[in-house]
Amino acid sequence: MEQFYEIPIFPLAILPLPHELVPLHIFEPRFQEMLRDVEEKKITFGIYYSHGQNKDRLGGVMELDSVLKRYETGETDIVAKCVDVFLMAEFYSQWKKKLYPGGKVYPLNMLEPEPMSKGFVADFKRYMKMKDVTDIDDDFDIHDIANELNLDEVDRIKYLRLLSNPKRERFLKERLKYQKFILNQEQKNKDTFFLN
Angstrom distance (rounded) from CA 188 to CA 34? 49
Between CA 149 and CA 115 the distance in angstroms is: 19
Cross-strand partners of 107: 86
For the range 167-174, what are the long-range contacts, defined as Cβ-Cβ under 8 Å and sequence gap of 24 or more?
168/142, 169/116, 169/117, 169/120, 169/142, 172/120, 172/142, 172/145, 172/146, 173/120, 173/123
pLDDT value for 22: 98
* Contact call for residues 150 and 127 (beta carbons, < 8 A): no
Q: Length of the chain in residues, anyone?
A: 196
pLDDT tens-digit map of 61-100: 999 999 999 999 999 999 999 999 999 999 999 999 999 9
The pLDDT of residue 122 is 93
Query: Which one is predicted more confidently, 25 or 113?
Result: 25
Are 66 and 72 in contact by the 8 Å Cβ rule? The answer is: no
Which among 121, 180, 186 has a CA at the least distance from the CA of 149?
180
pLDDT value of position 65: 98
Radius of gyration of the chain (CA): 19
Kindly tell me if the per-residue pLDDT of 134 is higher than 60: yes
The whole model's pTM is what?
Answer: 0.88
- Looking at residue 152, what is its pLDDT? 94
| pLDDT number for residue 94 | 95
Q: pLDDT tens digits for 140-184?
A: 999 999 999 989 999 999 999 998 889 999 999 999 999 998 888
What topology is assigned to 5-107 in CATH? 2.30.130
Domain definitions of the chain by residue range: 5-107, 118-191
